[in-house]
Structure 1
Amino acid sequence: MICIKNGRVHDAVHETPYIGNILIEEDKIISIGSDFSVPVDAHIIDAGGMEVYPGFVEAHCHLGLEEYGIGYEGMDINELNDAVTPQMRGIDSINPLDPTFEKAAMAGITCVGTGPGSGNVLGGTFAAIKTVGHCVDDMIVKDGVAMKCAFGENPKNCYKNKSVYTRMTIASKLREALYKTRDYLARKEAAEGDISKTPAYDFKLEALIPVIKGEMPLKAHAHRADDILTAIRIAKEFGVGLTLEHCTEGHLIADKLASENYPLAVGPSLTHATKFELRNKSFTTPGILANAGCQVSIITDSPVIPQEYLPMVAGLAVKAGMKPFDALKAITINPAKHLGIEDRVGSLEPGKDADIVIMNGSAFESLTETVHVLINGQLIK
């Protein structure tokens, strides 16, 4: 049993932090506050004068799929033999021994949604994983949190003069896959287990069945406003779940996005505008969208921005006008909701995983040091 005592608790539930104790048993938080007795055998962590946060969560990155200090041998983000690859699973490319995991964990990023990149119209599934471990299967919080799809320049550039040339083609390929899956599922269900009536097994369509059934959202890479709206149009057309990733021009259509109420993952903003669709990127975007009433997560899209700098980029959003509590939620509870794992992580509450970060100052300040990190109730720093 562990007790974190006298820290200033930022629980991502209440806007105002408070001085309190956190009692941990095995891998869960069991009590928070100051009105419980601390067991005599508890290991005490004195957090007096320090800031205590939930473990930071990222909704969208590629941690472990593009390895550190290596080229082709460790480049496992995009399968570029086919523009439509929903059958790919991010967990089959993740290398938990890559040094970026330790860098992330030591900085207090305790859980991430990671998976395939945006080269393909359909790229495969994301998983939510903790950032410590030697075997990815032991690190999984939830596999299949989303099915990656992509709009805009990335599929166009990857398949130019091959199979994708226009945005119309991207949309049509996604629609075709969803139409085929809907038909395939209907035929499977109508067969009622009769092998003579069951359609021939299709690996790609099988992977998309959870999307059609509403069990897994599309995770739509979209920077430009028109691409964001195309993603929404197609999701509505098929009645499927959707999260919107990057949203570089989201501030241009903030009222529309607020009315649609899809989760938004915003970023990476701390980069050069390397392509035309990034020309309107701004650190003001997360705050504008949050003020409009959107559920906003801030992302590094690591390795675009190193994973360990997630709190820093949230701080830059605060500098650009985002409310501090909105920024805190954008790297804790909102990405947990975005990934569908808010019952486990994202806030400091009894019953949740004991993923906790203790810092000697504000998480949003670049000079702040991470003093202690607990993941699954284990003190890793």
Structure 2
Amino acid sequence: MNKYFLTLFLTAATAVSGFAQANISPAPAQSKLTYVLGAKLHLGNGTVIENGYLIFDKGKITGIGDATVVRLDMSKGELIQANGKHVYPGFIAPVTNLGLAEFESVKASLDFSEIGNLNPHIRSIIAYNTDSKVPATLRSNGVLMAQVTPQGGTVSGSSSVVQLDAWNWEDAAIKKDDAMHMSWPVTPKIRPGFGNRPPTLTPELLKERTQNSINELDQLFSEAKAYAETAKPAVTNARLAAMKNLFNGGQKLFINVDGQKDIIAAVNFAKKYQITPVIVGGDEAYLAIDFLKQNNVSVVVKQPHALPNVTDDDVNMPYKNAAVLVNAGLNVVISIDGYWQQRNLPFMAGTVAAWGLDPEKALQTITLNTAKVLGIDKTTGSLETGKDATFFISSGDALDMRSNHVEKAFIQGRDINLDNLHKQLDKKFSDKYNAQKQ
């Protein structure tokens, strides 16, 4: 009975929290030609225009350049005067369970993992919740797109890229099933037993278990490759069919792995099946730079605000890791764990900039570099003519939490609402305490 009332209470709490943002509806399509004039344009490809103009119409950027050398006829459109402000391409949050989870303590709101160890047939996009109250908080910091990613097991399933202002997942999808995600089997460290008792698992047994997991992966991929090469399979197999695009170049394989030897083993595994790998995590990627460059492997660096995994590492290595990899010539993307935390993604890039990376290159790690890895760089990731008008205007440096203040944001030309639950609660309780002072 107690469990029944607890479930009822949590369900009601979920509903009430959802009503707090019921007035935030997706923005309508762009209705008129618009000019943004006088801002400092950060194009996302390393270029900065100190005093620029940006023109967009019907959701696309139709013009961009230096406002000091061009005379514009603005009689036919709407003008946004942005002198002294900054314009950035929309930030992209990779490898996140955003929209697949709402309350950590309420199991019914967690939809990012499935039972089982090998789940290549799982698709995150159909579970993506556009009514979640979380994406609005991200938009307020310039995060306008995300790679919604399943988790759990060795092979988790396929992610999809979405824009964060939509009525349903069909409207939100920018690229469906862009990548398959897996975790490379790693031999865990031995934990001592209680008191003087020896550990329950020996090093040999742990290594054997890890090798068995790798063998299972090898068998799965071998069968999937054979299935993909069969014109008309006699028996339909949903798991194997879901992996077809890995072998024809339609999908990349995102591999969660950190150790140097494990990174090399994971990349070689993908090469064996002629699959394009992307390393996620890569704590020790700096020890395998030459190997990664030779194989043209991108790295998604996770959680720059963290402690090193290895005792002997430099305590500041997590801050430096991205800069070391970028300066060595690798394509690097920055991500951050969780879903609420995604609002801090630009500040992760700001930390990387403070630890050895040029600020515009740091910006690329959450814009164009990410778009390239996700396969959406032809339409977004930078401010260029012909690309989607997905960008925002900030009164300060968007990578600096002290000065970042997003004043306007556009997704595919749509002027989106920047209200969110945090702002609503701030206003509510500010009004309360201001009333008490009177």
What is the TM-score of this pair, normalised by structure 2?
Answer: 0.78
Where does residue 296 of structure 1 map in the other structure?
A: 332
Q: Residues 327-338 of structure 1 correspond to what in structure 2 (within 5 A)?
A: 327-338=362-373
Q: Tell me whether 1:86 sits opposite 2:113 in the alignment.
A: no
- How many Å separate the matches in 1 of 2:360 and 2:102? 33
Where does residue 211 of structure 2 map in the other structure?
A: 168
The match for 2:149 among 90, 110, 115 is 115
Residue 241 of structure 2: SS of its match in structure 1? helix
Q: Residues 1-381 of structure 1 correspond to what in structure 2 (within 5 A)?
A: 1-33=33-65, 34=67, 35=70, 37-68=72-103, 70-79=105-114, 81-117=115-151, 119-152=152-185, 166-186=209-229, 188-189=230-231, 191=232, 198-271=233-306, 282-303=318-339, 306-368=341-403, 369-380=405-416, 381=418
Taking a change above 3 Å as real, the CA distance of residues 185 and 284 of structure 1, as seen in their structure-2 partners, is same
- What percentage of aligned pairs have identical amino acids? 25
Q: C-alpha deviations, 1:89-144, integer Å up to 9, x for none? A: 01122111111111111211111111101x21111101011011120110111001
Taking a change above 3 Å as real, the CA distance of residues 311 and 320 of structure 1, as seen in their structure-2 partners, is same
- How many Å separate the matches in 1 of 2:163 and 2:313? 33
The number of residues matched between the two structures is 366
Where does residue 196 of structure 2 map in the other structure?
A: none
Taking a change above 3 Å as real, the CA distance of residues 13 and 73 of structure 1, as seen in their structure-2 partners, is same
Letter aligned with residue 177 of structure 2: G
Unpaired stretches in structure 1, ≥5 consecutive residues:
192-197
Where does residue 195 of structure 1 map in the other structure?
A: none
Residue 256 of structure 1: SS of its match in structure 2? helix
- How many Å separate the matches in 1 of 2:402 and 2:287? 33
Q: CA RMSD in A?
A: 2.6
Unpaired stretches in structure 2, ≥5 consecutive residues:
1-32, 190-200, 202-206, 419-438
Residue 319 of structure 2: SS of its match in structure 1? coil
Q: Which has the larger radius of gyration?
A: 2
8 Å CA contact 1:223–1:277 kept in 2: the answer is no
Letter aligned with residue 7 of structure 1: A
Q: C-alpha deviations, 1:61-103, integer Å up to 9, x for none? A: 2211122465211111111x21000000011221111111111
> Aligned-pair distance for 1:278?
12
8 Å CA contact 1:266–1:298 kept in 2: the answer is yes
- How many Å separate the matches in 1 of 2:94 and 2:40? 26
> Aligned-pair distance for 1:3?
0.9
8 Å CA contact 1:121–1:155 kept in 2: the answer is no
- How many Å separate the matches in 2 of 1:204 and 1:276? 36
> Aligned-pair distance for 1:29?
0.6
- How many Å separate the matches in 2 of 1:229 and 1:6? 48
